[in-house]
Structure formats: structure tokens, C-alpha cells
A and B are shown apart, each in its own frame.
Chain A
Amino acid sequence: MTTVPPMIRPVVQQRSPFWLLVTSFFQREVRARYKRSLLGWMWSLINPLSTVLIYSIVFGVFLRTAPPTTKNASAELFAVYLFAGLVGWNLFANVVNGSMDWLAGVMDLRKKVFFPTETAILGGTLATLVQTLFEVAVLLAIMLALGNISFTFLLFFPILLGVASFGLGIGLVISVLNARFRDVRYLTGIALSLQFFLVPIVYPIGLLDGPDIDTYGLPARELVAWNPVSQFVQGAHDVVYFLEVPSLGRCLAMIGYAVVSPTIGLWYFRKRSMAISEEL
């Protein structure tokens, strides 16, 4: 038996100034972030910098992870390598995690007025991108100070846009699942911790290359190499740390992930989000 999908055509939907909604939620997110905290937006810097400090001590000092060699020896600092990768990773993780809150934050509203809820997630993603720009500014200052800078740094921006877009696609799916099953938030937390170590952030990708590396039969190298987030993070390393244009394969992979993920995410979100107003 086939059921005819219910058709509803509110003209509201067609004429809705989508971007005005996105702007409103962007504003809301920017304002709500770090509200009632003394240091306010400073936290956007303190957070990643403290992470850099901690990981530098743990991995760079205790575990003696050596940064990969680059053309400019003065920049061969583990903390710099780490920071270059962490900016992209944080953006990805914040968008994925945030999407659940952004959707939950407009649920009350959505139960009373119809509007496309993906605008809230889009607004939140944009706010996260703006926050990331602070980190980029600090990274840029460091690189200028170290003299490790090239025009390739400009490519950092499209790469960050790409990682945000990739995260957005995943966030769209996860947020709508989370509205239905509260487990999703916890599962996401676990998946992100695992994923963090599957991306060469606290170690150089070459670490997995040596012949004496025993991965106990796990395809560790493949998991890291083919990981979508890895591509973006390695892309970031390329343009910020090694000062190289990423390989054609990597560029295509990044473009592909940045386009396919939100396309699928949006399709799934729109298919499922009509029913979430009925979740109590």
C-alpha cells in the first residue's frame, strides 16, 4: 500500500526571507555567547590558546612529538603546528556540537510559528565562523612574527569555509536526530573524541608511516588519511604551516566534502524537521 505524502503549501514558506531569519539567529547566537562572563569574547581566544598550551606540554614536551619539518626552521615549533590544525578542528567540532543546541533553542518558537528551522543552525554556524576569525587573527600574528607566511595563507579562508560547510551537513542530520533521541548528544561526544585522534592534529601524519609502526591490524593509516576532517586539517597545515598549495586530489576532496555533506544534510533535515514540532 502506498501512502500519498501529505501536501501542504503555505505560501509563507515560499516567500520567507530566509536570510533575515538566518541573520536574526546569527545575532542571537553572537549575543548569547559568553554573555554574563567577565572576559566575554576574550574566551574565544583563551579557549583555543589554553588547548594549544596543554597539548603542547603533553604531546610536545612529555611525549616529545616532533613537528614535521618545513622550509622555515624558525617555525618548526610543535605549538605552531598544533594551532594551525586546531583552528579547523575546533570549527568543525563547534558546528557539529552547536547544531543540537541551536535547534533545541528554537523549538519553543517552532511550536508556535512555522519557519524553516535550518535557519537557526545556519545562523549558529555563521556565528562560529566569526568566532574562528579571532583564532585566525592570532595564528596570522604568530606566523608573521615567525616570518612563516606566504600568499597560501589566503587559502586558509576557503578551507575554513569548507570545514564549516562539512560540519554543517553533519550537524543538520545530528540535530534533527537529537530532537528525537537524546542519546545522540552523548554518542556525538564520543564520536568527536575518537575523531579528534583520527585527525593529525596532535601528531604529524608521518608518525604512522614508519615500517616499525605496529597498528595491531587496524587500518589506522587509512582511517586517518581518508578521514574527511583530516583532509581539511591537512589542507590547513599545507597552506599555513608548510606554505604549499594543497595537492589537486586534496582540493577536490575538500570541495567534494564541503558540497555533498550540506546537500545531504539539508535534504534529510527538511524531510524530517516538519515532524519535530510535535516532539514534546
Chain B
Amino acid sequence: MTAISIAGVSKRFNLHADRADSLKELFLRRGQGNASEFWALRDVTFDIPTGSFFGIIGHNGSGKSTLLRLIAGIHRPTSGSIEVSGRISALLELGSGFHPDLTGRENIYLNGAMLGLTRTEMTQAMDDIIEFSGIGQFVDAPVKVYSSGMSVRLGFAIAVHVQPEILLVDEVLAVGDEEFQRKCFDHIYALRRKGTTIVLVSHDAGTMETLCDEVAWLDHGQLQMAGNPSEVIERYLNRVNQQENDRLLAEPTPEVIELDTDDGSRRGSGEVRIIDVTYHDLDGTERPSGSSGDGLVIRLHYRAASAIESPVFGIAIHHENGTHIAGPNNRLGGVEQPDLGVGTGSVDVNLTRLALLPGKYFVTTGVYSNDVLHCFDSWDRAKRLIVQPGSSEERHGLIDLGARWSSALSN
């Protein structure tokens, strides 16, 4: 069964900057060919099976949203045909299908009418919609007074409560708070179980791979591949990586430290790398391990291949069973690092009282750019940290909280 059949669809847009907006321009431009046309889609053909969760993936400008608009009937294809069997509900831009002057309730009817539902059918769904959206008494206020969150929630509530046979979703689930997102996904899963065909457009490969039964990949308006999600997404990611590499190669690259071995524990661009991690007493004497409850200095030795503006050093400590125990960095510690020049140096993490109880731990290191958006070096489980019994008397769990006990007798 095919819910949506897309056959040889092309879509041409006339770019507006160059268009005749007035009659005068129209006459002046007569005879000149319109050079500013843009093909958003070219000869795209594929079928979307009934009841499937279908993904359309592609980078920005690949034509995926245009295709969704064609399916929703907002635009007409320039050539080719789209056949849709079933009632479509679309979430193209959340909260946008409202008339600002009408109240929430009137907009619910209006939206229902646009989706082909009668007033009676909408009245039946009304309570569910109001409840799901959580807009409360605002339902009788004009939509223009709504916050963006409220219109988003109302839009979603309507779209999923009209019993669509086909639901089109355009990357909108990224908005809203987490609780609402979860509610949305729960509802989408419920629709899917009921056999609703769901078409999701996104550039997020991870979401696509987990959610979709089938994925179509568009690039510059052309269908590259459609079918099994993991295969399509692998090819898509390869292309994305390839393009990113090409772009990086084209840029002047800063000096980086290449790693001679790669066991998968390291990533980052390599302008600066941690080359060793050592442990010391508070007085600086190197030691092979820590001792519970006593002082410990974790020294990160780095080498910088390029000058770096005030980076952020951080460590993470994991128990050998994988539990993440702590993750301090100098920014959180309230200290800014000086700018690094080319060369080597070290950064100390000073622990006056090692809170870890005896056991085996791992230290992971990281060096990030000043805005913490770019990773220069990340070294997963860079060094093992064995903690031996020391002055801490604690025995249970992983850390010594340094608790002090007291009691008071009532009566």
C-alpha cells in the first residue's frame, strides 16, 4: 500500500529579488528571459508506504522541506505528480497555522476545517486538544496574545488529535521543553501504532536512524538514495564528512599534533594535546597512586603546536565500572588559563583531600577552546588512578563525603 506516491516531481521557484512586482516592471522586462529561477527539486520519484515512519534527510537547502510542502499541497509541483491517499495533517512550522485575530478555540475549528474535519468532529476532539496543549483558559483568547510556546503546543495538539492518516513533521520537535517533547514523541508513537503514516524531515541523522523505517536522502533537490535507514544514513554521513574534509582541506590548517597511535580514545583537532598525566603529593613529589583522604595533585602535561587563546582544561574521573564521578574544569573552578604559546607545559588539578575511596578509577582529560565549543584534545581514560587506603575511615560506596555526625535527644 502506498500512502504517498511521488513521481518525477520537479519544483521551480522564481527568485523574488529579480521578479517583476509591478506592471511597469513587467512591461519593461518583457522578452528578457527570467534568469533567476531556482530548481528546488528535480525529478524526484519515490513512494511512501502506508503506515511507515518515513524520513527525508538532507542538508540545508536540499529541497526536503519543499518536498514536504508539495505533499501538504501548499505548493504545486512544476512538473510531475504527487498522489496522496489519506487525510494529511502537517506540522511544518509549529504554531503557524493560526489566524491571529481568532481565538484558540476558533482556530481549532479553522484548522480542523483546513484538514477536512467538520465542526462536530472538532468539538469531540476539543477537550483533548485543550488538555494536551495545556493552554487552559487562554483557549478563548485571540491567538495573537499567545506566547510562542503556547502556539507551538496548540499547533501540535491539533495536528495529532485530528486522527490524521498521514502526519507530516518538519524538524519541529526540536522546540518546546523536554517534557513537551517527550509528550509529542509518545503521541507520535501512539499514532504510528494506530497505523498513521508519518513523514519526518530532518538533517539529524541520529533521530532518523532510530525512528524511521525508511529514509530518502535528498541533495540539491535530487534524490540520492531511498530505502533502509542505516544504509542511507551511512552514505549520507559519508558524504557530509567528505564535504567537511574537503572544506577543511581548503582552509589553512593550524599546526596540529598528529597521533601516532589511534585506539579510538582520542579526538579533537590537536592544536594542543595532553601528552601525559602524573600524580603528585601536595609538596610536588611524584607518586604512582592516590591515597584516600590525603592530598593529591593531578598534573596534566600538554604540548601545544599552535598558540591558543586561554583554553579550558578539564578532567573527568570514572570508576572502573564506568560510573562518572566527577568532571571539574578550570572554568568551573573559577580560574582562567593564560594564553598558551607553542611548546610544552603543565596544569595542576589540586585536591587537598582526595574524596575517592580505595579502588580503581580512570582519569579522562580534555582541552577546549575558550568558548568551550571546540575540542582541541580529548583523551578518554588517559590514565588509571589507583586509590589506596589512606586517612579516610569511610568504607562504603565510592567517595568520602566528609560527613560530620551530631545528634540531639528530644524530650
Chain A residues within CB distance 8 Å of chain B:
3-4, 6-13, 15-17, 20-21, 24, 27-28, 31-32, 106, 108-115, 181-183, 274-275, 277-278, 280
Contacts and interface: CB of A to CB of B under 8 A. Distances in A.
B99 A24 contact: yes
Given A24-B102, A112-B93, A278-B13, A12 B23 contact: no
B73 interface: yes
B82 A8 contact: yes
Interface stretch (B107-115, B197-205, B360-368, B376-384): B107-115
Interface stretch (B84-92, B184-192, B236-244): B84-92
A12 B115 contact: yes
Contact of B83 (A9, A16, A183): A9
User: 10 tightest CB-CB pairs across the interface, nearest first?
Assistant: A114-B73, A20-B113, A15-B116, A10-B73, A115-B114, A24-B110, A113-B97, A112-B96, A7-B81, A21-B113
A114 B81 contact: no
Nearest to A7: B81
A6 B70 CA distance: 11
B189 to A, nearest CB: 24
Contact of B78 (A6, A16, A114): A6
Interface string B47-82: 000000000000000000000001011111111111
A6 B81 contact: yes
13 contacts: A6-B76, A6-B79, A7-B81, A8-B73, A8-B81, A17-B113, A24-B109, A28-B101, A109-B97, A112-B74, A181-B26, A183-B23, A280-B16
Contact of A32 (B90, B92, B101): B101
B114 A21 contact: yes
B21 interface: yes
A31 B117 CA distance: 23
Contacts of A13: 73
Contacts of B81: 6-8
B106 interface: yes
Contacts of A109: 97-99
A112 B115 CA distance: 12
A24 B113 contact: yes
Nearest to A177: B23
A274 B119 CA distance: 26
Given A7-B81, A20-B112, A114 B74 contact: yes
Contacts of B74: 110-114, 277
Given A183-B23, A275-B76, A11 B116 contact: yes
A27 to B, nearest CB: 6
A78 B265 CA distance: 96
B118 interface: yes
